[in-house]
Chain A
């Protein structure tokens, strides 16, 4: 009891040193376990989502970029395919094609233009509101709703890509009609809209009400870079929106392909084996497995580095504690002269060390708990962020 009283008095008096030691040791203990949890969650999420996506069709190029973009909505931008490829899949009667258009963002969140089949394909359920019905509507993921503080009835505005491109992408206000239940997948971080709405953002489709503004009632129009304005689709102007050109030539970033059976999948894959063809069909599970294998080869190295750094840091902490004891030499001498035994002094120092270690372990446990509780959400966000 006396040792505890004295130890607490010492640690309280030297509170800065005590807190620094607790933080350092706590972090040394927490980082390896937190890393393990995050890596395990990464592997689980990467694998699970990839395995839930049988095939992805996209422009020939990096299979990894295509997969990451199509299933995690990451920042990679593979060259687009044409919408005609969707019709080809439909016409084959081997699979359901789900087009994806992921070029645009709003407040950092990916706008995913797709078809209504996407929601059933991913087993997404609505927390509130309804699904997409008409042009200009959006259904948002749970993280988008939470981070932006928006819900049904609010709007989100797509980010313009180039302020000085008159013929380019104008911001389009999307009306939120639904919020998805949280899934701890990249779907939480996405703003879903009909693919036609994505084409409107891209400038392929447009209306004639708000894009060009008449000045003071005159017949001339203003459409300069200095006149950046919202393009809002309303019931009043909805009918005026139209698309120019062949819809089969409109762009899609990728196509999720959901085969009806193994035979259909095999036949479809065979059609895109030509290395000179414009399109490639990848199996996300295979691509991601290769990525995970690489990550876990790196993880082995990371584990070694973490171990070395941990040992070095603990040695530094031990040295700091040892030097602290050395500095307390006069105190120890006084205690011995007064009549204390070396066992009593050792007990006092041991209690101090035990209190610091207890604090560090508690801190590490709290950090590890927080990481394990939020790992899935953080990993989903990291995967969606990409590189």
Chain B
């Protein structure tokens, strides 16, 4: 469960304020965030994941007050509780698909063992990547690359998945397939999904849609 209370954030240059009086996302809930560019949607994801700290207010994810965590604890929190999916997939071109999926275990405090590798292969197989795990991203299609990115985000079994325009680079057919794949996997672990999107065709698939203009990013000048 994710809960935001009286949240406010201001960029150091004072370019805009972000105010979120209250927002609650239940476990397993699929929430889409829409709104014009520059209204702070990505900023919201960064706040929830602890990448940046709010000026005031409270962010709680699974009973953890993210804003109160120290630097190391926030890193560990992100590794264990948050799954990131990016518009550009953010895969490493020098690693194979399998090593990309396992990447969080190479660079964070997530514990790697043989079972993790087995689960990675299973997850990849159910994601349609069977036979492609030893290939590098450059030899995969865009849809396949996003499947790899989804597997990377889901492998640690996070309680919250933050997707920033996750289908933005995909063709219409692939968008539906990838989104369904994401929903299926998230449902298996009862993970909540908070997805920023500009694609209104996809909105009916979400449980709830938040129009971010309601939180209105205010210019200070």
A residues near B (Cβ < 8 Å) are 2, 5-6, 9-10, 12-14, 330-331, 334-341, 344-345, 348
Contact = CB atoms under 8 A, between A and B. Distances in A.
A337 to B, nearest CB: 5
Interface of B: 49, 51, 71-72, 75-80, 82, 84, 86, 88, 90, 92-95, 99, 103-110, 112, 136
B94 A14 contact: yes
Given A334-B86, A336-B51, 4 more contacts: A6-B106, A331-B90, A331-B92, A338-B103
Contacts of B84: 334, 337-338
Interface of A is mostly: helix
Contacts of A345: 107
Contacts of A334: 84, 86, 90
Contacts of A339: 75-80, 82, 104, 107-110
B107 A9 contact: no
Contacts of B78: 337-339
Contact of B93 (A6, A13, A335): A13
Nearest to B164: A337
A340 to B, nearest CB: 4
Nearest to A338: B104
Given A2-B107, A10-B94, A13-B93, A340 B75 contact: yes
Nearest to A13: B94
Contacts of A344: 107-108
A9 B90 contact: no
Contacts of A338: 78-79, 84, 103-104, 107-108
Contact of B107 (A10, A13, A330, A348): A348
15 contacts: A2-B105, A6-B95, A9-B99, A13-B94, A331-B90, A334-B90, A335-B107, A338-B78, A339-B82, A339-B107, A339-B109, A339-B110, A341-B71, A344-B107, A345-B107
